[in-house]
Amino acid sequence: MQNVYLTGFMGVGKTTIGQAVAQKLDVSVIDTDFMVESSTNMLIKDIFEKYGENYFRDLETKILTVLPSKDVIVTTGGGIVTRQENMEWMKENGCVIFLYADPEVIWNRLENDTTRPLIQQRKKEEVLGLFGNRLLFYKQAHITLDTTDLSLDEAVEAVHKAIKTWNNRQH
Ligand code: S3P
């Protein structure tokens, strides 16, 4: 199987959905945030605080290129798409799926989050603005799935189906 890269804004459910889909397909799942944290032995919020966003983006970009190049579902950090080289890498190495959800729904999930540095001390309008700015990047994905009205199970099923269709087209 070609790799699958799940992209989308913070709080859309990439990690949870990716894990469930990987189980269904009996393949491995790797989370780029987890890899960044385990390779540095630091939490993402501490990396941002100590070294800044750009440093985190460098780590994220590096991680992407050293992951296995097939048979893996890669769940990505929400900002990985902002570096064009990352988007190109993902598109060359597999199927990029953008998990969309209505920004209002996303905000409700993120409002009280304490782990994501880009949410801290930001007003709702600012986070929604970031979402808007990112859309242009996310939309470069091969496939867009709107998960706004889907339950977790339905979202998992939609991603599963999209991957199967993608794989059939590759043969
Ligand atoms: C970020 C999203 C986070 C994490 C970091 C930056 C972003 O991942 O990579 O806090 O720029 O959108 P999730 O999308 O898994 O929350």
With a 6 A CB cut-off, is 134 part of the ligand 1 pocket? no
The two tokens of residue 49 are 């605080």
- The answer to whether residue 111 is domain-embedded is yes
Q: Output DSSP code: residue 25.
A: H
pLDDT of residue 170: 83
How many domains are contained in the chain?
Answer: 1
71 labelled binding-site residue: no
Q: 121: CA distance to ligand 1 center in Å?
A: 15
pLDDT at 161 over 90: yes
Nearest CA to ligand 1 atom 4: 77
pLDDT at 154 over 90: yes
Q: What is the pLDDT of residues 101-140, one digit of tens each?
A: 999 999 999 999 999 999 998 999 999 999 999 999 999 9
- The answer to whether residue 171 is domain-embedded is no
- The answer to whether residue 170 is domain-embedded is no
What CATH number does the domain containing 145 carry? 3.40.50.300
- Cα separation, 24 vs 83, whole angstroms: 30
Helix axes 53-66, 32-40, angle to 10 degrees: 110
pLDDT of residue 91: 97
Does the global pTM surpass 0.95? yes
- Cα separation, 153 vs 147, whole angstroms: 11
With vertex at residue 159, the alpha carbon angle to CA 154 and CA 162, rounded to the nearest 5 degrees, is: 125
The two tokens of residue 99 are 């998990």
Instruction: Tell me which residue range forms the domain holding 113.
Output: 3-165
Helix (H, G, I), strand (E, B) or coil at 97: strand
Q: What is the pLDDT of residues 33-90, one digit of tens each?
A: 999 999 999 999 999 999 999 999 999 999 999 999 899 999 999 999 999 999 999 9
pLDDT of residue 108: 94
169 labelled binding-site residue: no
The number of the ligand 1 atom at minimal distance from the alpha carbon of 14 is 15
- The answer to whether residue 70 is domain-embedded is yes
